[in-house]
Structure 1
Amino acid sequence: MTQCELPPEWLHIQLGEIVSYGKTQKCVLADVTGDTWVLELEDVEKESSRLLGRKTAKERPFKSTKNQFEKGNVLYGKLRPYLNKVVVADTSGVCTTEIIPLDAEPFVLNRYLFHWLKTRDFLNYVNQVSYGVNMPRLGTKDGVAAPFVLAPLAEQKVIADKLDTLLAQVENTKARLERIPQILKRFRQSVLAAAVSGRLIDVQPKSAAKLEDLVDIENGARKPVSATIRKNLQGTVPYYGATGIVDYLNDYTHKGRYLLVGEDGANLLSKSKDLAFIVEGKMWVNNHAHVLKERLGVNLDFVKIAINSLDLTSWITGSAQPKLTKKSLCSLPITNFTIGEQTEIVRRVDQLFAHADRIEQQVNSALARVDKLTQSILAKAFRGELTEQWRKDNPELISGENSAEALLERIKAEKAASKPAKKARKQTTA
């Protein structure tokens, strides 16, 4: 692994020189009380390390052996370490043996250690040495040999404080950005509601028609093809299912401009994707999507808007596998507008949706930059760039007895002193 250049008062060392990676204190259910915190990997969100939940031994009784940890310990998820699950314990408890409690204090601040374990340098090392294909882990030997950047103790606190502040701001920004797609989803739904009610063009529709009166349903030519058979039919023609393209084949079932409406699947209720979508050209449609063709005097794009505006709960059968039957589809109510009004509604909806799409693209770009910003800040911190001025202002706190080199010697001396003395051999007399 390539080592970056550090300030002269810092050191490149190994993780095992500051913590006993892999050495843990075990316990069973009988050793804890009912209100003891029991932490599992599933409780920690990947990358952000946010706690998603907290359960006690009473709520989560366990049969397997657990690792004990104390308040302030760094809890490192060694299973699938690329998920970057690391937390600092705010109280004592027990955790799965796939989480390793680490305590580097008093010579290394645990908050400083926590931030180092989140860096790209550490993650790159871990990804290189983890063993196991489906469930990779960071083993004890490789954990002990992992890289660590040791800064003087006083500087560790400054770095940890700066990172706590800066990364909290990044997380707050990210959280605000992540809320915007849901806001846009509600906006799009309100646009659809305004469209079918006539509010977008200031026209009050006088009645509603059944869908079967506006379109022809051409389901007869649909043909499902299993994944195995599709391997021998690969081509350039899109193969459509309930929510979009599934594959590309070498033949087609329909040719022209159609409106596809999902026939079954969870999307009928979740509406995570459009229920109805326009397709054009040659296509192969399977039996999971209804195929609609517009009639004279009907704008197919308007029909798409009308269907996507509906809550289909009342027309859907089945709970485990929701289904919109052809009979239910035909009975869907579509508000009546003239062809000119339909065209104007479509134009305005497209205009508003295009605006929402632009915002969503900007949000996605901003989120990508924010994700990179976290690692950029961490990298600057552990190259000494965040504390460059602080070191100039406080040379006495990073040199001599306060240098990282002196700190490492104290750590080694403490370890040597804590080792049990070897028993002297018993002398024997002839």
Structure 2
Amino acid sequence: MSDFNLPEGWSVCTLADIGNIQTGNTPPKKQPDFYGDSFPIFKPGDLDAGSRVLHASEYLSEAGRAVSRFIPAGSTYVTCIGATIGKTGFVVVDGTCNQQINTITPEFGLSQKWIFYWICSPNMQTAIISNSSSTTLPILNKSKFSSLETIIPPLAEQQQIAQKLDELLAQVDTLKTRLDAIPNILKRFRQSVLAAAVSGRLTEEWRGENRLANWLETTLSECSDRIGDGLHGTPSYSKDGDFYFINGNNLSNGKIVIKDSTKKVNFEEYNKHKKDLNLNTLLVSINGTIGNLALYQGEPVILGKSACYINFKPLMNRNFAFILLSSFNFFEYAVREATGATIQNVPLKAIRNYRFCLPSLEEQTEIVRRVEQLFAYADQIEQRVKDAQARVNHLAQSILAKAFRGELTADWRAQNPELISGENSAAALLERIKAEREAVGKTKRKVKAGVAVKQ
């Protein structure tokens, strides 16, 4: 950072030059009287609130406060250990923190928010990671944290930078919040499409135009040749086997998912436990996680007891059945019929007895086409949202980078040269801080000396 092209009036120093650095500590858990009142002790997970951290996951009593390090409101907390190293929060209340966090409290009137934003910037986040110990568990101790190189603008410009970042990043947060809400909107949209599909509303006009028969009430049992589940037990596994033993947790979004942990069996074991699966088979999870679905496509598998298979008759389009069992109506029914307190299980009898209305094969095909079309549209929107979210996340970092290159305040500097030069420059500010610290230090030494003389 030393080769950084500093704007006029800016200087370079260390974090220790501009604030009081503290590392937190945790009062002994063996003394419960230290905990449970109103003094917050912040942990890395509490810093997710970012620019306004107000609440902690744990609180101390007055006794606990007395043995902890007091950190005043307006301090910046930085996680300095582990996978979340660099996570930063601006804490707006008095509190303390555990030993995973280093804090910096700005002194002598420096902008509190400017320091927070500076530590969030790409330059400082990179410095935090690159200066941490290179072990499997990265650690940046207090000494290294204190010595991190820091740029510092004049005081008036610090305030301008913080104000502009407050405004710009608030707009970014608003945009991010709106984007983050869209996946839930799309989830509700998909469920509404499914509800319309299985109720007949989706194709009501089309059905009338084509003069098709009304839907008939039926059950899954009446529409299938066989409904069963898999092995109630454990097969003999074989590391070199060519067949997989799957359960309900291997069913996801219409597909059989083979995981690294999925066990294998040999041909003999497969032949012993195989079920009569075919290209009209739909698989449903009925134990533990309820309602996962997969269309069987000839995969080399045997089933466990949490995977139910349904072999449909020609009168029912398997893809329509997938839509039917993906609907909230079926899920609500399955949960209602499930037994077991800890691990829920949907009896095969309940699967067989599920009642619904069945349209003609022609209308089933049209329903499948419309649902796939609408879902593809939703998928496109979802991908665009993900792309936009990535751009928004990059935008925040880009704004911070511009701020600390002096680009956001270039016009302000040109209009206010007297506020960035001479006694208002960052260099002069650092000298004043140094002088004030020395004065405070002398005062403390005199007080200690006076106490010693009296004794």
TM class by shorter chain equals 0.7 to 0.9
Residue 302 of structure 1: aligned partner: 320
Percent sequence identity is 34
Change (3 A) 1:255 1:141: farther
> 1:273-295 deviations in whole A, cap 9, x for unaligned?
x7323242434354243233332
1:246 aligns to what SS in structure 2?
A: coil
Q: 2:217 aligns with which of 201, 208, 215?
A: 208
Residue 426 of structure 2: aligned partner: 404
**Residue 290 (str. 1) matches residue 308 (str. 2):** yes
Inter-partner Cα distance in structure 1 for 2:397 and 2:168 = 12
Q: 1:44 aligns with which of 26, 38, 47?
A: 47
Alignment of structure 1 residues 6-155 onto 2, 5 Å? 6-22=6-22, 34-45=37-48, 48=50, 51=53, 53-54=55-56, 57=59, 65-80=67-82, 82=84, 84-131=86-133, 136-155=138-157
Q: 2:417 aligns with which of 387, 392, 395?
A: 395
Greater shift after overlay, 24-33 or 343-352? 24-33
Residue 177 of structure 2: aligned partner: 175
Alignment of structure 1 residues 282-361 onto 2, 5 Å? 282-284=299-301, 286-287=303-304, 288-309=306-327, 310=330, 311=332, 312-361=334-383
Change (3 A) 1:103 1:279: same
Change (3 A) 1:8 1:107: same
1:70 aligns to what SS in structure 2?
A: coil
Change (3 A) 1:81 1:107: farther
Inter-partner Cα distance in structure 2 for 1:8 and 1:62 = 47
Residue 247 of structure 1: aligned partner: 259
Inter-partner Cα distance in structure 2 for 1:230 and 1:114 = 56
Greater shift after overlay, 300-309 or 311-320? 311-320
Change (3 A) 1:51 1:213: farther
Residue 427 of structure 1: aligned partner: none
**Residue 166 (str. 1) matches residue 156 (str. 2):** no
Change (3 A) 1:295 1:128: same
* Aligned-pair CA distance for 1:30: 7.2
> 1:357-391 deviations in whole A, cap 9, x for unaligned?
11111111111111111100000001111111111
* Aligned-pair CA distance for 1:63: 9.9
* Aligned-pair CA distance for 1:330: 2.3
Residue 261 of structure 1: aligned partner: 284
Q: Is the 8 A contact 2:338 2:347 kept in 1?
A: yes
Q: Is the 8 A contact 1:260 1:292 kept in 2?
A: yes
Inter-partner Cα distance in structure 1 for 2:88 and 2:278 = 54
Amino acid at match of 1:347: R
Inter-partner Cα distance in structure 2 for 1:168 and 1:230 = 57
* Aligned-pair CA distance for 1:117: 1.1
Residue 428 of structure 1: aligned partner: none
**Residue 378 (str. 1) matches residue 381 (str. 2):** no
1:259 aligns to what SS in structure 2?
A: strand
* Aligned-pair CA distance for 1:17: 1.7
Amino acid at match of 1:138: L
- What's the TM-score, normalizing by structure 1? 0.83
Change (3 A) 1:212 1:30: closer
Change (3 A) 1:26 1:397: farther
* Aligned-pair CA distance for 1:73: 2.0
Change (3 A) 1:122 1:359: same
Residue 294 of structure 2: aligned partner: 277
* Aligned-pair CA distance for 1:356: 1.1
Inter-partner Cα distance in structure 2 for 1:405 and 1:232 = 71
* Aligned-pair CA distance for 1:141: 1.6
> 1:170-189 deviations in whole A, cap 9, x for unaligned?
11111111111111111111
Inter-partner Cα distance in structure 2 for 1:3 and 1:394 = 26
* Aligned-pair CA distance for 1:329: 2.4
> 1:202-224 deviations in whole A, cap 9, x for unaligned?
16955432212223346458997
* Aligned-pair CA distance for 1:397: 0.9
1:76 aligns to what SS in structure 2?
A: strand
Question: How many residues get paired?
Answer: 414
Inter-partner Cα distance in structure 1 for 2:62 and 2:177 = 29
Amino acid at match of 2:251: A
Q: Is the 8 A contact 1:22 1:100 kept in 2?
A: yes
> 1:326-356 deviations in whole A, cap 9, x for unaligned?
3332222232111111111111111111111
Change (3 A) 1:23 1:281: closer
Q: Is the 8 A contact 1:49 1:84 kept in 2?
A: no
* Aligned-pair CA distance for 1:265: 3.1
Amino acid at match of 2:258: V
* Aligned-pair CA distance for 1:88: 2.5
More helix per residue: 2
Amino acid at match of 1:308: S
Inter-partner Cα distance in structure 2 for 1:331 and 1:406 = 83
Change (3 A) 1:125 1:82: farther
Give structure 2 stretches of 5+ with no counterpart: 208-212, 450-455
* Aligned-pair CA distance for 1:315: 2.5
> 1:131-169 deviations in whole A, cap 9, x for unaligned?
485654321121012131111111100000000111111
Inter-partner Cα distance in structure 2 for 1:392 and 1:192 = 60
Residue 362 of structure 1: aligned partner: 384
Inter-partner Cα distance in structure 1 for 2:279 and 2:71 = 65
Amino acid at match of 1:305: I
Inter-partner Cα distance in structure 1 for 2:62 and 2:391 = 39
Residue 452 of structure 2: aligned partner: none
* Aligned-pair CA distance for 1:305: 0.6
Inter-partner Cα distance in structure 1 for 2:307 and 2:293 = 9
- What's the TM-score, normalizing by structure 2? 0.78
Inter-partner Cα distance in structure 1 for 2:343 and 2:190 = 26
